[in-house]
Amino acid sequence: MARDQKHVTFSGRMVIVGFGSIGQGVLPLLLRHIAIAPSQITIVTAEERGHDEARTLGIRFLLEPLTLENYARILDPMLGAGDFLVNVSVEVSSLALVELCRRKGALYLDTCIEPWPGGYTDPSLTPSLRSNYALREKALALRKTAAEAPTAVLTHGANPGLVSHLVKEALLAVARDTGVETAVPASREAWGALAERLGVKVIHVAERDTQVSPIPKRRGEFVNTWSIDGFVGEGSQPAELGWGSHERHFPPDGARHEFGSGSAIYLLRPGASTRVRSWTPLEGPFHGFLITHSEAISIADYFTRRDGDAVRYRPTVHYAYHPCDGAVLSIHELAGKNWHIQAKKRLIVDEINAGIDELGVLLMGHAKGAYWYGSRLSIDEARRLAPYNNATSLQVTVAVLAGVVWALENPRRGIVEPDEMDHTRCMALMRPYLGTVVGAYSDWTPLRERERLFPEDIDREDPWQFKNFRVV
């Protein structure tokens, strides 16, 4: 993809809600690859950050926090039929914006399904009702009212988003390398059949961020390479995972939802205090946080195979995230303060002086054991590829770009999740910005060395049980 290649022409108005690290990073990509004039774009945001960038590019910048009381009044004049709302905010209800766009005939995209402030931690709600599972079920329920409404792309960032397309490419690679002949599946049922045929039991979104700043984390400060408020919000939610059909040890602190597809469970503890064993090619084995993300639910649901009402096949799916070292220290301090966020926040972008973000999917249980497939993007390469980005944000912003282009090419698809989109088209748009995209097999399992050093209660018969991955 050429640096200045225009993929699609857009003649309507575009509203970008939120202008933190992702909003600032995606704006130059949208201008680079979509034929759109700066005068067509308006930014609506709660913070002054990014004002100079917007002014330099000639973009209208409206400093106006959106609330339940004012969002319709502010956004209504900015949106009409064929316009586009790109939601990269936090604490602005995604469902409210989807419904507004539907009423106005506008297209929509977000990178996660957000509630109004307090929705993640409201003590009046049960853990089940403040989960990503519940937010997803509410969003998908809107499909029933208008199947061919303007396209609303849900959760299309790096993860969720990019990783759903990586899973499909990884499945095709494993099929090729294990001698399983298959055409590229053309339906949800065919993708599920392929995953079942290959024997994939577990899928991790396995990520290791090694980006570092020369300025160490200070006491009372949260440091991260992407949205601090977003990370703390999802890290404070109950840990969630897609629950596979091969699992035979239900977690003692686990619970099932009493509504919806039944594709996921949750744990009665925050994701940022739940650790799991995982593996990436460069890092090797590591302990990651089981942070709740929509892809754990949507991927598990998408690949489910049923006999009538009974689930015959479903993989266990969850995030295994080792953020940058400064963020790990920040989480440790956050948990010690009973999940009250630090007074100071430092988003590191320009000050990063080394490191990569190794983000991919780890498919396990098939004939070759484990296969990781994903993006290795260094800070130096990210800076060469696009302004206002670090390695972590670029993996998100290029997915936003791809989702916007796909929606403009498919404007009447109603509510769509990443798993339902054309992975080939999306990967073609994203790949030039992902650094080195690689696949690697491994004989690693979560039981490696544990029988020799710590022969605790493990399932030796099936290494791919969740109880073997979980760190207790």
Same fold, 8-153 and 162-391+433-471: no
What ranges do the domains of the chain cover? 8-153, 162-391+433-471
Q: Considering only CA atoms, which of 159, 162, 168 is closest in space to residue 187?
A: 168
The CA distance from 3 to 424, in Å, is 20
Question: What pLDDT is stored for residue 444 in this prediction?
Answer: 98
Pairing assessment for the beta strands 275-280 and 284-289 based on DSSP bridges: antiparallel
> Residue 51 has which token pair?
């004002």
> Residue 35 has which token pair?
């034929």
> Residue 142 has which token pair?
């809107």
Question: What pLDDT is stored for residue 135 in this prediction?
Answer: 96
Pairing assessment for the beta strands 202-209 and 356-366 based on DSSP bridges: antiparallel
Contacts of 412 (CB under 8 A, 6+ apart): 148, 149, 150, 151
Sign of CA dihedral 378, 383, 384, 386: positive
Alpha carbon distances (Å) from 277 to 54, 224, 338, 364: 42, 22, 24, 13
Residues in the chain: 472
Alpha carbon distances (Å) from 133 to 75, 121, 235, 237, 416: 28, 15, 15, 11, 16
The fold adopted by the segment(s) 8-153 is Rossmann fold (3.40.50)
Residues facing 206 on adjacent strands: 320, 360
| Token pair 């089940």: residue | 128
**Burial (CB count <10 Å: 0-12, 13-18, 19+), residue 50:** buried
Mean pLDDT by 10 residues, the chain (472 residues): 83 97 96 98 96 93 98 98 98 97 97 92 88 96 85 98 98 98 97 98 98 97 95 94 98 97 97 98 98 97 96 98 98 96 96 98 98 98 97 98 98 97 98 98 93 78 97 92
Question: What is the model's pTM?
Answer: 0.97
The CA distance from 152 to 109, in Å, is 6
Question: What pLDDT is stored for residue 3 in this prediction?
Answer: 66
Residues facing 317 on adjacent strands: 203, 242
Superfamily of domain 162-391+433-471: homospermidine synthase like (3.30.360.30)
Evaluate whether 397 touches 22 at the Cβ level (below 8 Å).
yes
Evaluate whether 395 touches 359 at the Cβ level (below 8 Å).
yes
Count of CA atoms in the C-beta half-sphere (13 A) of 424: 4
